[in-house]
Chains A and B, each alone.
Chain A
Amino acid sequence: MSDWEPKIVSFLCNWCSYGAADLAGVSRMQYPPNIRVIRIPCAGRMSPKFALAALREGADAVWVSG
């Protein structure tokens, strides 16, 4: 299990967190490549169904930020 890497599906609000992730890139902040970003127009768009679907599809964690 030592080389196990989690898969994280993240739902980021277009206006804040997605932009923040952009800025993290611009600032060259390094972080592990385990997340896959899905851009949503607002954290309010997030539905529990998406979280459950991601977990069902095999994600180890779901991260909603907005």
Chain B
Amino acid sequence: MLGYIDKIKKISKRLLQESRVDMVIGFRKGTMPMMNEPCFIKNPDDVDTLVWDSHCGINLANYLTNRKEKIGIIAKGCDSRNIVTHIIENKISRDQLVIIGVPCKGMVDKRKVSSKIEEEIQDTSEKDSQIIVKTRAGETALDKAEVLQDNCLTCIHRNPAIYDELAADLVEEQKDIDRYEDTHTIEAMSSEEKWKYFEDLLAPCIRCYACKNACPLCYCPTCFVDESKPQWVGKSQDTTDIRTFHFLRAFHCAGRCTDCGACERACPVGINMRVFTKKLEKDCLDQFGWEAGLSLDDRPPLDTYRPDDPENFIK
């Protein structure tokens, strides 16, 4: 994956030079280790700022909402699927975009890395399938597969669903993985166990809304959490209000979520709120054979009205 960056820079430079785009949205090195940050490159001379490694987990589709310019955008599998959703939902038009597809091999979860290293991490680098972590004490090599984001472990759409340029050859998709193992586990729980599970899951939530702000699907002019007439959800730290917020956020993502992991990644207290969206993702797959962001022609199942919708849930 390290080799991608030269191609990315080359393509970006060309696009900017030829004025095919007004800017390129990509990543640059962040101020903290393992925290690459999005950047907007408008000058072809600045393309060297761009980086690409296993710390580019942020979903760049988020930065396309209601943009008016022509944009070149670096897109992993999940980003590309969210770009598709953005186009379907009129957040950006296809002809504004030049999508630079990046076949992805998974992004690193910095929490997993930190948990394996006792000292403060100063820097990291990548070599083959290893992450080399540098601390004051020296270097430690970690197997990348062990520190991947959870969503990347079960990802079967690593290649971009839609692209105009490619930064590398397509990669082989993961096969024979149980994408919904965790969902099955929760589904199998008794009501009491579920209650306990979700109670524990959401207990640390401080309602900072980082999850929704990181999510490319959340773009309404006024979010339901901010509305007062009617007040969909209370503003307090009351557990009911916290749950209401998470449930509704998840419902709003039903049939649209690509499991990019932006929400979990953004959460400062480490809540895995993906269990909600994954359940809905699984239901959409089971009931409608639907996966979000794979086609520009079809709207998500919950956006369509069909008299012959499956109604097996009606007894």
Interface string of A41-64 (1 = CB under 8 A from B): 000000011001100100000000
| A53→B232 CA distance, assembly (Å) | 8
- Count the B residues whose beta carbon is within 8 Å of the partner chain — how many? 10
- Chain A positions within 8 Å of B288 at CB level: none
| A58→B304 CA distance, assembly (Å) | 33
- Chain A positions within 8 Å of B247 at CB level: 48, 52
- Chain B positions within 8 Å of A52 at CB level: 233, 243-244, 247-248
Cβ A49 vs Cβ B240 within 8 A = no
Known contacts A49-B224, A49-B232; is A56 also within 8 Å of B251 by CB? no
Cβ A56 vs Cβ B240 within 8 A = yes
Cβ B240 vs Cβ A48 within 8 A = no
- Chain A positions within 8 Å of B240 at CB level: 56
Q: How far is the CB of A15 from chain B (nearest CB, A)?
A: 14
- Chain A positions within 8 Å of B224 at CB level: 49
| A49→B232 CA distance, assembly (Å) | 7
| A52→B244 CA distance, assembly (Å) | 7
Interface residues of A in 13-66 (CB under 8 A from B): 48-49, 52-53, 56
When C-beta atoms are compared, the residue in chain B nearest to A65 turns out to be: B314
- Chain A positions within 8 Å of B251 at CB level: 48
Q: How far is the CB of A60 from chain B (nearest CB, A)?
A: 13
| A49→B234 CA distance, assembly (Å) | 12
- Chain A positions within 8 Å of B248 at CB level: 48-49, 52
| A48→B247 CA distance, assembly (Å) | 9
- Chain B positions within 8 Å of A48 at CB level: 247-248, 251
When C-beta atoms are compared, the residue in chain B nearest to A66 turns out to be: B314
Interface string of B238-249 (1 = CB under 8 A from A): 001101100110
Interface residues of B in 185-242 (CB under 8 A from A): 224, 232-233, 240-241
Q: How far is the CB of A47 from chain B (nearest CB, A)?
A: 9
Q: How far is the CB of A43 from chain B (nearest CB, A)?
A: 10
When C-beta atoms are compared, the residue in chain A nearest to B238 turns out to be: A56
- Chain A positions within 8 Å of B233 at CB level: 52
Interface string of B244-275 (1 = CB under 8 A from A): 10011001000000000000000000000000
| A52→B251 CA distance, assembly (Å) | 12
Q: B interface vs A, CB < 8 Å? A: 224, 232-233, 240-241, 243-244, 247-248, 251
Q: A49-B232, A52-B248, A56-B241 are in contact. List 4 more A-B contacts (CB 8 A).
A: A48-B247, A49-B248, A53-B244, A56-B244
Closest 10 CB pairs of A and B: A48-B251, A56-B240, A52-B244, A49-B232, A52-B247, A49-B248, A56-B244, A48-B248, A52-B248, A48-B247
A-B contact pairs, 16 of them (CB 8 A): A48-B247, A48-B248, A48-B251, A49-B224, A49-B232, A49-B248, A52-B233, A52-B243, A52-B244, A52-B247, A52-B248, A53-B232, A53-B244, A56-B240, A56-B241, A56-B244
